[in-house]
Amino acid sequence: MDTISTTNSKILVVDDDFSVRSLIQRFLGRKYQIESAADGKSAMTIFEKINPALVILDWNLPDANGYKLCQEMQSQTNVLVMMLTSRNDEADKIKVIAGGADDFLTKPFSLAEVEVRVEALLRRIRCIYPSPIQRLTFKQLAINPDAREVTLNDKPLPLTALEFNILHFLATHPGQAWSRAQLIQKIWGCDYVGDGRVVDVHIGQLRKKMEADSSTPEFIKTVRGYGYKFDPQETAKI
């Protein structure tokens, strides 16, 4: 008997290719509750109805952009998203990661790889908050973990679920340097089997949204040759 605690988790598969949906649904349906959709509109209807733990989402849909659909879903719940893409170049991979996806697979892929990636994602602990949960304030930056909201100069910052998790984690350890490997373990989980560059991509996206000048960041600093730290008190060094 399968002893993995994530068995019977709800998964939504969104792809306009019937054969892809059918294969994934039959293969993963042995262990998980699978629903599927062929377009963005029906995907959102099913998403809101079943509240899945994971969405396997095609980057290119006939009526929706995978980037926007991923963000719309993650703005409603803390859902995990694994993006499917037929493109293999570096720029497209970065777009997928920057879109908020927790992981991605390039088509064509093996069903065995899908299963391994899904299991790793579902074992991940998305809620990384210490107890008790406290509101954090640094200069004009405020982080509200209960509402998962961030404001800067009293204006809301539109962060993806992963961007929020990274910022909140770093902000709860101000001044402490974290390597990329440590951040992957703490935020993505020790089972993460995807691309290690996700850290740099998401930090870059965060800086674009919250820094006046991302080349000389005020909040999230680069620790050269190591990783990153949250240190709003430190003056940026050139």
Mean pLDDT along residues 4-14:
77
The two domains 10-123 and 136-230 share their CATH topology (first three levels equal) = no
Helix axes 66-76, 40-50, angle to 10 degrees: 20
- φ/ψ of residue 108, rounded to 5: -75, 155
Question: Is pLDDT above 90 for 228?
Answer: yes
Beta bridge partners of 143: 136, 150
Range scoring the smallest mean pLDDT among 2-6, 19-23, 35-39, 103-107: 2-6
Question: Is pLDDT above 90 for 230?
Answer: yes
Q: pLDDT digits over 131-159, tens only? A: 445 788 988 899 998 888 899 999 999 88
User: Which pLDDT score is estimated for 128?
Assistant: 44
Mean residue pLDDT across the chain? 83
* CATH class belonging to 136-230: mainly alpha
| Non-local CB neighbours of 40 within 8 Å, separated by 6+ positions | 14, 61, 63, 64, 69
**How many angstroms separate the CA atoms of 26 and 21, rounded?**
9
- φ/ψ of residue 228, rounded to 5: -140, 160
More confident residue, 21 or 120: 21
Note whether 11 and 54 are within 8 A (CB): yes
Q: pLDDT digits over 106-123, tens only? A: 888 899 999 988 988 888
Using CA atoms, how far residue 46 sits from 14, 37, 94, in Å, is: 10, 8, 28
Mean pLDDT along residues 11-32:
94
More confident residue, 96 or 21: 21
User: Which pLDDT score is estimated for 8?
Assistant: 76
Using CA atoms, how far residue 110 sits from 49, 52, 114, in Å, is: 29, 23, 7
Token digits for 196? 């290690």
Q: Which of 1-10, 96-105, 197-206 has the highest mean pLDDT?
A: 197-206
Q: pLDDT digits over 181-223, tens only? A: 889 888 877 666 666 677 888 899 899 999 888 888 999 999 9
The CATH number of domain 10-123 is 3.40.50.2300: yes
Question: Is pLDDT above 80 for 233?
Answer: no
User: Which pLDDT score is estimated for 210?
Assistant: 92
Question: Is pLDDT above 90 for 15?
Answer: yes
Residue extents of the structural domains in the chain: 10-123, 136-230
